Structure 1
């Protein structure tokens, strides 16, 4: 009886101790008095951006780190928002861990601001602040905001997909294009069997890159290799504003009596992202060809004399030989060049 009584008291003491300890921890983490947001300053408040200063460091950021009341690794994210929008729409830029100072080139800053959908060639006003967090269980804290006025310029931005499909050779990486530098990039890549992994880089080197945290989600300077969902020609859309990536089938092939597979199947072409044309070198016989999308007759082109016509007649191939084929779907033209 005494032993049971003793064990009961011990259990009661342990529960009470754990409860008090838990309450103490929660109170400490929930106390706003212990949290001091980051303080930052920008060395300029008014900027004129142009291609002439694209490679220059045009803006410097200095940070006094936040204090959460205890030692913790802090992630700081610089947020750009439209003036007076209360950061409903933001462009976020992750500050490398431990950095208290950072510079931005004209090209980088121009891309961040264009991602907010502002016009080019005229001044727009922005609010800028720092978001600081230590983990997902504790609410982030925000600095006071600063004002910035800048005139972005029209530009085209690129991401490069360095990966197994081209044997991880930086110089051979396909490019994804954002025509207005709004943070949304598209490109078409052919992924062979067993070569589906890649990473995305702002330049054709490994200084900075995007990796994958889960399918469809990417992160800057982190994550694992990104993996395409299947083989073949895929159109990639990368949104660096929401850090997402998506895929859809997008292929064009040549079919017809002059092709190696006849009218039974397509011979796929390869997309040249830089020039936005489809290319193929192939052995043809005398006969006829057409071009079609995604191995289906729903979208197909015929034509004559170098001009494409949607659903048009067969294109004649006069004699057998090895041909370079180029299809430009923007200009609705094709070339057949016998080698």
Structure 2
């Protein structure tokens, strides 16, 4: 009898172990995930020129990808040369553009696609082949089938010069010390301005630091008319990126502000405290009451572009670095942030910037 009991015990153990292995296999097996249909592009043949650098030239769209886990899916685009998309090193040299969570399309303007094409090595003013695919990521990454594009890139002109922006934001209309907007392309200028409370939003645009030639508003606020006495007007108080195109005689202003973020300032990690742009020193500044805690910098109250110190003992801050400065004691601090950003849409944001944090 004892012999039979031992045999039954061994048989039961084997069945239990077999069942456990089967359950474990079921739990650890990844279910297949793929794009349910092909991605699409607005055009497969694109000729890029400097005149259309700001135009929308490519729209990539894709279907929603469903993962077995109920969580947000993050999408990105990858561009590469046809010859670099196979073999052991496939797609390792690809240019990647983060799109975001639950976003199913991405539009590129001419200068963005041109930079990708040139960086990947397509010859200037000659048709070349690029491939684009979509990456979907959650607990793993899956990729769409690629689409081949025929792209003709252009050589960006080396540009110099600046125009000037005398206006009420100064407190006085003084063209001698007015904000300067440096050239970022042929006939295109870009810079930043802050309208403080109590200061007016109106201004002119001058080609020199004098009144020999200037531009004012035309039929609309965005129209530029030579020697017009009608003032341009910014949207109101706050900080803006101002872009002027002498080729089209149009200008625009977009809300734009660097800010401090972290547990040392009022908004914590959720809301930045915006800084003001000092046009004379080309520096972002703020004087604020801070408490003990962390501090770093980000753009437009978003984590898309942010800087933190790789080494908190220095004034150098690094793009997308998770580090932060430690504010050791509460008090009033003057904080400055300076960045050499020249046409970041085309060139990207620099890897480093500088800052100062001084207790008053």
TM-score by length of 1: 0.48
TM-score by length of 2: 0.46
More strand by share: 1
